Structure 1
Amino acid sequence: MTSRPASPSSLRSVPWYMALGQRIATLWVVKMIGTALGITGFFFLYFWVMHNPPSEPTVMPLTPLDHWVGVSDDAMLLYGSLWFYISLPSALARDKAELWACARDAAIMAAVGLVVFWFFPTTVPVFPVDWANYPALQFLKATDVGGNAFPSLHVAFAVLTTVMLGRQLRSVKAPDWTHAVSVLWSLGIVYSTLATRQHVLIDVLGGMLLAGVVSWAGTARSGLVWREA
């Protein structure tokens, strides 16, 4: 009996982890430089707007949840991990079109946030906390003074990253646990914005709304880019 030749699609199929590895190796220099420049440029604009508000910032109100979530020095690790987490969608972009879609959506969201910060300056309340008891948070409080509060771009970037990663993981048929890790990581970052007292609940909800709108608009514009691989 003559064996049946393998179909072209089966010959092209690779395990999900190898597919992700191939994606990381694609345009890796462009991705690395572009991500570094993008984050650096964002920080420059973010801190300039924070330190040059056109009017007195509005103090964001607290909710019962803000009182319930305790201050945590350990949350600083989760808070800082955002900057690695948000680099993953670009690193896993399959080609130039997908890389551009990632950069475009992140830039649009950052631009909207910065415009809101400029025209509606906000800040978190002065919390009755002795930051000397939280050494990991002291540096954060010295550099990021709690301005640019609403919407929380920290939360917005975490949520947008989760959506982008979800699309990419589905495209390579990654197992469910990879999606769970991504979602839990994102939720940890959201929690950290409250536990570090960098944001209050209203800021968090604003960041989620902003990310949801940008994600929806990005999907509508780039349906073909995010097609199944």
Structure 2
Amino acid sequence: MMAVTYRLWQMLLGWGFVGLVYNSSDRWQGAGYQLTPSWIDRAIPFSPHAVWLYLSFFLIIPLCYLICPLNRIKWLRSSMQLAALVAGVIYLLWPTTIAYPLDQANSLSSSLLAALIKVDSKQNCLPSLHIALTVLAVWAAADSRNKLRSVLLVAWGLGIAFSILQLRRHLLVDLLSGAALAVMVGYACQRIQWIASGVRQGERQ
């Protein structure tokens, strides 16, 4: 029980900080530069039904916090925080937006998408924190001793990425920059942890 509480606390510190930076930067930034879709973006048909897979992001993040090895929890939390800081600076210095499609269908998926649009930012496009956090969460939970689970998590993450393009919440360039951001901050936080661990060992000797 203590381990679960610890994991949830670390998730609150990491994911909660992301929400704080995301919403603050959205409030303080200027008008966004409209990004141009690539041919890949244009080739993927819009579908409001992708909203279900898109929102599974809010399941995969807590799941990965709960199942990842305990020694990766602080890394996941600090990587999310650093990703939010870097993305927040970009959002403020170079705010971006896209041309969002109008969904006039009458379905449960469309109603859910309309509710999402009301609360989500119309800017904060590049880099995509939706993808950056997904990459970091899957990275933390991936385990060579449980290859099936790791493959399923990667497939889930790729599904979320495709759903983002289907919903036109982001463009491909946003996803690629979000994934690059995750890799950059992930390795940076790993390096910081290694250095800090070496310092602590040296102090004990």
Higher helix proportion (structure 1 or 2): 2
Counterpart in 1 of 2:51? 76
Matched, 1:116 2:87: no
Counterpart in 1 of 2:81? 107
What number of residue pairs does the alignment pair up?
Answer: 194
1:51-90 alignment runs, 5 A limit:
51-53=27-29, 55-90=30-65
TM-score (norm 2): 0.83
Question: Structure 1 CA distance, aligned partners of 2:84 and 2:168?
Answer: 21
Segment drifting more, 196-205 vs 29-38:
29-38
Q: Is the 8 A contact 1:59 1:124 kept in 2?
A: yes
Q: For residues 212 and 61 of structure 1, do their structure 2 counterparts lie closer, same or farther at Cα, with a shift above 3 Å needed?
A: same
Matched, 1:207 2:183: no
Which protein shows a greater Rg?
1
Question: Structure 2 CA distance, aligned partners of 1:93 and 1:165?
Answer: 4
> Deviation at 1:83?
2.2
Which ranges of structure 2 fall in alignment gaps of 5 or more residues? Answer: 197-205
Counterpart in 2 of 1:18? none
Residue deviations 1:165-199, cap 9 Å, x none?
Answer: 22xx22xx11x221210110000111111111110
Counterpart in 2 of 1:181? 152
TM-score (norm 1): 0.75
Q: For residues 110 and 132 of structure 1, do their structure 2 counterparts lie closer, same or farther at Cα, with a shift above 3 Å needed?
A: farther
Q: For residues 151 and 105 of structure 1, do their structure 2 counterparts lie closer, same or farther at Cα, with a shift above 3 Å needed?
A: same
Question: Structure 2 CA distance, aligned partners of 1:163 and 1:94?
Answer: 11
Question: Structure 1 CA distance, aligned partners of 2:117 and 2:65?
Answer: 29
RMSD value, Cα: 2.4
| Identity level (%) | 23
AA of the residue aligned to 2:161? V
> Deviation at 1:73?
2.3
> Deviation at 1:76?
1.3
Question: Structure 2 CA distance, aligned partners of 1:120 and 1:215?
Answer: 23
Segment drifting more, 184-193 vs 124-133:
124-133
Matched, 1:36 2:7: no
Q: Is the 8 A contact 1:149 1:203 kept in 2?
A: yes
Question: Structure 2 CA distance, aligned partners of 1:94 and 1:156?
Answer: 20
Residue deviations 1:40-95, cap 9 Å, x none?
Answer: 44323312321331x32111111111111122222112211112212234323544
AA of the residue aligned to 2:81? A
> Deviation at 1:132?
5.6
Does the residue aligned with 1:74 lie in a helix, a strand or coil?
A: helix
Question: Structure 2 CA distance, aligned partners of 1:220 and 1:79?
Answer: 32
Question: Structure 2 CA distance, aligned partners of 1:184 and 1:222?
Answer: 28
Q: Is the 8 A contact 1:76 1:196 kept in 2?
A: yes
Q: Is the 8 A contact 1:131 1:138 kept in 2?
A: no
Residue deviations 1:105-128, cap 9 Å, x none?
Answer: 111111111111111111111435
AA of the residue aligned to 2:24? W
Question: Structure 1 CA distance, aligned partners of 2:26 and 2:83?
Answer: 17
